[in-house]
Amino acid sequence: MTKEEQLNVLKKIISIQTVNQNEAELADYIASLFAPYVGKNVNIEKVNYAPGRDNLVVTIGNGGKVLGYSGHMDVVDPGDLDAWDTDPFDPVVKDDKLYGRGACDMKSGLAAVVVALLEMLEKGDQLPGTIKLLATVGEETGNYGAAELTKQGYADDLDGLVIAEPCDDLHSINYACKGVIDYHVTSVGKAAHSSRPQKGINAIDNLFEFAQQAKAKLASFDHKDPVLGKLTHVISLIQGGEQINSVPSEATLGGNIRTIPEYPNQVVYDTLEGIIDQLNQQPGFDLSIKYTFPEEPMGGDPAAPLIKLAQQVAKEELGFTPQPVTSTGANDGQEFTQSKKDFTSIIIGPGSDESHMPNEYVDLPAYYNAIRFYQKFAHAFFN
Ligand SMILES: [Zn+2]
């Protein structure tokens, strides 16, 4: 492909609006690019998540080791359009930068993988293995697509995974991140006049009891992951009571926990639910808990072979050595690595710190670098 053709794929991908929905339209477009190769060792599958929301799996090759390339197709809302100098869905190039929603996070990474694979097919590269493109829905709001693909077994045969999320224009490799648990506890009591508190049940007092025990218990989880550090817990929301002279009949609190592999999420669920079960056996207690958007922690080793290989390929092809880093944010890798097989998942891709911002852009040289890198990396992976 010429540079202009490579750029046009990216522009087209940005122009398809996938703000937390409509990924099926983008999946259709990407599928159409691979369609001419179907039958020649190329297989295309759409995996529906919800109406208008299809994940896309393109498998190239048959047998041997399996290398996954992944990117999410959704983007976040552009927000206040007055804060943009250009139409977020009509990509514009200025000074070697391409502006548009998703230019950084992460349609440039997704487009670079797509173009890299198409070029390899065009050239007729014979690889002694299989490449699997996993394009997902709903990453931004909870990694739903990756969770669905993992549940259906699409990650079970992976020997390594590269996620093309922005990572310092390929100068860094993100290989580990903490898990996330957002929990919400509701305490139900019984209203009464505050001058006769013995007639009521104080939902706030009961909730405090839970909060104190949860804080103390989670603080005792003090083992440190060698790369991610310690588990953290913050009680971040609290609400309750009806008016100053009534015994409160309801109170809620919310907390955010960042987990590490030493304490998988299930250990934390068991702990919180254990506290609640025990308190609920005492007279007057009526506590319940629910969770939103949990993500498992993903540990890692900065000296893992997949990271070494990515560093070596980048040095040879791009002239710099990306450095291993960890993050506190979530990504699809946390879902994919829940599959049956153990494999390393890394993030390396074009784009830097412009995710989710107005006038989001990608430096085009990083986009072209990524296309070259993903091709070389695939060859190196199988050799
Ligand atoms: Zn992203």
For 273-320, what is each residue's pLDDT tens digit?
A: 999 999 999 999 999 999 987 899 999 999 999 999 999 999 999 999
Q: Separation of 85 CA from ligand 1 center, angstroms? A: 22
- Please state, as a whole number, how many other Cβ atoms lie within 10 Å of the Cβ of residue 51: 9
pLDDT score at 333: 94
Q: Please give the Cα distance from 334 to 228 (Å, whole number).
A: 14
Cα 132–133–137 angle (5° rounding)? 135
* Predicted local distance difference test score (pLDDT) of residue 233: 97
Q: Are 60 and 116 spatial neighbours (Cβ–Cβ below 8 Å)? A: no
Residue 173 Cα to ligand 1 midpoint, Å, equals 14
For residue 229, which amino acid is it? G
- pLDDT at position 323: 97
pLDDT recorded at residue 382? 95
3-state class of 380 per DSSP? Answer: helix
pLDDT score recorded for residue 327: 85
pLDDT score of 117: 98
What residues have their beta carbon closer than 5 A to ion ligand 1?
105-106, 165
pLDDT above 90: percentage of residues in the chain: 93
Distance 106 CA to ligand 1 centre (A): 5
Per-residue pLDDT of 210-263, as tens digits, reads 999 999 999 999 999 999 999 999 999 999 999 999 999 999 999 999 999 999
User: Which pLDDT belongs to residue 354?
Assistant: 83
Task: Point out the catalytic residue in the list 23, 54, 105, 139.
Answer: 139
Q: What is the pLDDT of residue 184?
A: 98
Active site residue 74: yes
Of 330, 337, 352, nearest to 304 by C-alpha is 337
139 is catalytic: yes
For residue 328, the model assigns a pLDDT of 73
Catalytic residue among 74, 105, 159, 295: 74
Low-confidence ranges of the chain (pLDDT < 50): none
CA of 74 to the centre of ligand 1 (A): 8
pLDDT of 383: 87
